[in-house]
Amino acid sequence: MPVVPVSPTPEIAVAPELVVTHGTPLLVLFGSNLGTAAELAQQIGHDGTVRGFATTVASLDDYTDNLPPAGAAVIVSASYNGTPPDNAAGFCRWLGGDLAPSALAGVRYTVFGCGNRDWASTYQAIPTLIDTELAAHGATRVHPRGEGDARDDFDGQFRAWYGTLWSDLAHTLDLPTVDTDGQLARGHRYEVDVLTAAAAPLAATYNATTFGIIENRALQRRDGTTPPARSTRHIGLSLPDGLTYRTGDYLGVVPRNPPTWCNGCAPGSSSRTTPACGFGATSRPNRTYPSTNRFRSSHS
């Protein structure tokens, strides 16, 4: 089994990664509106490349009516009120359509679902549908379907599913198993980036608009004999010029991090000289914590 050293990116002083090459096709497909499933797919794709697969990462819609019976496909998808993410709608329509029972014979796959039990009646609706329909049309499940619940321990659930993914793929595809402790170099697990877009970097990540707060008042008295343990507040927001809203639009609330946490993350400094920084898992193969999002902190 050839082992090819790959240089680290220049700014990161870590041991080189070792890539084991065998070139088996690995398709990592995602259905994602807000980025969680897409980011997991990118991480899986990276890990596949390091393990020697010829990896392609793409949206589910890019592979509508085009699932190859070669190598394997790892599918990561969210659900939105029981319907597919925007970039998986065509794929799901095709899969639920008029397909012969053996149309997908030879396709090997597994599915991980990004969901949230707050949507109780449609929890994991789309990953479940994809998994069921693939099997119903002759595809072979090579690793059990996994579920991540954003209301619970999503990362732990992902890790539990991910832990045996590569050995299951190696077994099914008759590949050499990679000893991750021995053959893949160890590097650091986390990165801290200094962000140049200091103004509302989180909003920029989601292509969102920030609102001003024009009213913020407590709705419960706290000076009685039995003050409530929790705070309930009425919050009024001002709509920026030219922006309207309608039912179903998303409103994200970003809590402010305590300054001590921010200072703890600021690289090489406990002062307030760093306006904003991002902290997240590296994309290196040896990490044990597959962060689904990068965390950002701001001193402003």
Ligand X SMILES: Cc1cc2nc3c(=O)[nH]c(=O)nc-3n(C[C@H](O)[C@H](O)[C@H](O)COP(=O)(O)O)c2cc1C
Q: Which residue ranges make up the site for ligand X (CB under 6 A)?
A: 32-38, 78-82, 85, 114-116, 119, 122-125, 150
How far apart are CB 76 and ligand X at their closest, in Å?
8
- 37 vs 92 by CB, closer to ligand X: 37
- CB closer to ligand X, 71 vs 148: 148
CB closer to ligand X, 20 vs 76 = 76
Between 157 and 274, name the residue whose CB sits nearer to ligand X.
157
Which amino acid, one-letter code, is at 276? Answer: A
Shortest reach from residue 122's CB to ligand X, in Å: 3
The whole-angstrom separation of Cα 64 and Cα 166 is 25
3-state SS track over the chain = CCEEEECCCCCCCCCCEEEECCCCEEEEEEECCCCHHHHHHHHHHHHHHHCCCEEEEEEHHHHCCCCCCCCEEEEEECCECCECCHHHHHHHHHHCCCCCCCCCCCCEEEEEEEECCCCHHHCCHHHHHHHHHHHHCCCEECCCCEEEECCCCHHHHHHHHHCCHHHHHHHHHCCCCCCCCCCCCCCCCEEEEECCCCCCHHHHHCCCCCCEEEEEEECCCCCCCCCCCCCCEEEEEECCCCCCCCCCCCCCCCCCCCHHHHHHHCCCCCCCCCCEEEEEECCCCCCCCCCCCCEEEECC
Q: Which residue is nearest to ligand X (CB)?
A: 115
Give the separation between CA 45 and CA 59, rounded to whole angstroms: 13
Q: Considering the complex, what minimum distance in angstroms separates the CB of residue 176 from ligand X?
A: 32
- 15 vs 34 by CB, closer to ligand X: 34
Residue 218 CB, nearest approach to ligand X (Å): 27
Query: Judged by CB, which is closer to ligand X: 39, or 47?
Result: 39
Query: Shortest gap between Cβ of 130 and ligand X (angstroms)?
Result: 13
For ligand X, the closer CB: 15 or 150: 150
Q: Which CB atom, from 79 or from 297, has the smaller least distance to ligand X? A: 79
| 27 neighbors 44 (Cβ within 8 angstroms) | no
The least distance separating ligand X from the CB of residue 216, rounded to whole angstroms, comes to: 24
Least distance to ligand X from the beta carbon of 143, Å? 20
Residue 162 beta carbon to ligand X: minimum distance, rounded to whole angstroms: 15
User: Rounded to an integer, what distance in angstroms lies between the CA atom of residue 63 and that of residue 241?
Assistant: 40
